[in-house]
Amino acid sequence: MVPEQYLPVFLFLLAALTFGVLSLVLGRVLAPHHPDAEKNSIYECGFTPLEKVHAKFDVRFYLIAILFILFDVETAFLFPWATAMRELGWEAFVAVMVFLAELLAGFIYIWKKGALDWE
The pLDDT assigned to 72 comes to 84
pLDDT tens-digit map of 3-44? 888 888 999 999 999 999 999 999 999 988 887 877 777 665
Tell me the domains of the chain and their CATH numbers: 59-113 (1.20.58.1610)
Range with the lowest mean pLDDT among 16-20, 44-48, 74-78, 105-109?
44-48
Q: What is the pLDDT of residue 27?
A: 92
Q: Which residues make beta-bridge pairs with 47? A: 44
Burial classification of residue 108, based on how many CB atoms lie within 10 Å of its CB (0-12 exposed, 13-18 middle, 19 or more buried): exposed
Q: What percent of the chain has pLDDT over 90?
A: 23
Which pLDDT belongs to residue 21?
96
pLDDT of residue 1: 62
Q: How far apart are CA 61 and CA 68, in angstroms?
A: 11
The mean pLDDT value for 39-64 works out to 70
pLDDT at 42: 67
Closest CA relative to residue 118, chosen from 45, 77, 67: 67
Contact 67, 116 (CB under 8 A): yes
